[in-house]
Amino acid sequence: KLVSREFHPEDSVVKVGSVVFGGPQVVVMAGPCAVESREQVMASGEFMQQLGVPVMRGGAYKPRTSPYSFQGMGVDGLKLLAEARERFGVMIVTEAVDHGSLHHVAEYADIIQIGARNMQNFELLKAVGQTGKPVLLKRGLSATIDEWLMAAEYIAAHGNLNIILCERGIRTYETKTRNTLDISAIPVVKQLSHLPVVIDPSHAAGTWQWVAPLARAAVAAGADGLIIEAHPNPAEALSDGPQSLNFPHLEELVGSLRKVADAV
């Protein structure tokens, strides 16, 4: 298989502009769950630039559990992300939820996110393969590691090996956390595959106070990067506020990650 270690024994790197996933540096991506307004996106872009966070996240299309929750700004949101990239020099990762949004996302984003709920949307995976653009492939809510790697194989088989795998917590019997972060996925996937692996501690924790310890554990376990939800005012967030860090807490976390990375 194209994504397997047997096929490609060396670690592969995914380059996004000057950002390298799978190299010696742990790449931090951060930003709001959803794009909500110009003010929110620009405040986020400016802060990521100041902090040296090279990739900003933010969903313009949101796969919400309830149809009555905020569904995202769509193309207007993508345009705000692209404007933040121009102004602040941050690369953009944002989700495509279907074929209809994919070509818009491919036009504006640097990394196309495929969300947990779409991990086995095989037609979408084929289409994202054909774009050739870097892809952040999240692990499904109840997907095994083999299923997740097979989803990556769909993208690879359609011509795109620029795949970054993202563990974001899986569904278990535990209900205190939103999901259970599968830290084991890091060494296991690294043995099975050459692709870079990043961790999303935010959707695993579901609660902002638990994000920093999970992020540090991920770096200690060998993750190639992190994707963290952060918002200028989490209390007012339209999506995932309870798990979003405010900017001072994000700054504190990023500082502490350097120490963990140096220690291992």
| Residue numbers at the binding site for ligand PEP (CB under 6 A) | 33, 59, 63, 115-117, 138, 168, 200, 203
Please write down the HEC assignment for all residues of the chain: CCCECCCCCCCCCEEECCEEECCCCCEEEEECCECCCHHHHHHHHHHHHHHCCCEEECECCCCCCCCCCCCCCCHHHHHHHHHHHHHHCCEEEEECCCHHHHHHHHHHCCEEEECHHHCCCHHHHHHHHHHCCCEEEECCCCCCHHHHHHHHHHHHHCCCCCEEEEECCECCCCCCCCCECCCCHHHHHHHHECCCEEECHHHHHCCHHHHHHHHHHHHHCCCCEEEEEECCCHHHCCCCHHHCECHHHHHHHHHHHHHHHHHC
Q: Where does this chain touch Mn ion (CB under 5 A) — which range of 107-115, 216-224, 239-247, 255-263? A: 239-247
Q: Is 249 helix (H, G, I), strand (E, B) or coil?
A: helix
Return the number of the residue (193 or 239) whose C-beta is nearest ligand PEP: 239
Q: What is the DSSP-derived secondary structure letter of residue 193?
A: B
Return the number of the residue (128 or 227) whose C-beta is nearest Mn ion: 227
Return the number of the residue (149 or 218) whose C-beta is nearest Mn ion: 218
Return the number of the residue (195 or 227) whose C-beta is nearest ligand PEP: 227
Least Å from the CB of residue 244 to Mn ion: 8
Least Å from the CB of residue 42 to ligand PEP: 20
Query: Residue 33 interacts with Mn ion (CB under 5 A)?
Result: yes
Q: Where does this chain touch Mn ion (CB under 5 A) — which range of 38-46, 137-145, 240-248, 249-257? A: 240-248
Least Å from the CB of residue 178 to ligand PEP: 9
Return the number of the residue (153 or 240) whose C-beta is nearest Mn ion: 240
Query: Residue 96 interacts with Mn ion (CB under 5 A)?
Result: no
Query: Residue 240 interacts with Mn ion (CB under 5 A)?
Result: yes
Answer with the entry of ligand PEP, Mn ion, none that 54 interacts with (C-beta below 5 to 8 A by kind).
Answer: none
CB under 8 Å to 118, separation ≥6 — which residues? 63, 97, 124
Query: Residue 29 interacts with Mn ion (CB under 5 A)?
Result: no
Least Å from the CB of residue 203 to ligand PEP: 5
Query: Residue 200 interacts with Mn ion (CB under 5 A)?
Result: no
Least Å from the CB of residue 227 to Mn ion: 10
**Residue closest to Mn ion (Cβ):** 33
Answer with the entry of Mn ion, ligand PEP, none that 234 interacts with (C-beta below 5 to 8 A by kind).
Answer: none
Least Å from the CB of residue 75 to Mn ion: 20
What are phi and psi for residue 56, nearest 5 degrees? -105, 135
Q: Where are the alpha helices (DSSP H) in 52-162?
A: 75-88, 99-108, 122-131, 145-157
Return the number of the residue (153 or 200) whose C-beta is nearest ligand PEP: 200
Residues β-bridged to residue 19: 16
Site residues for Mn ion per CB under 5 A: 33, 240
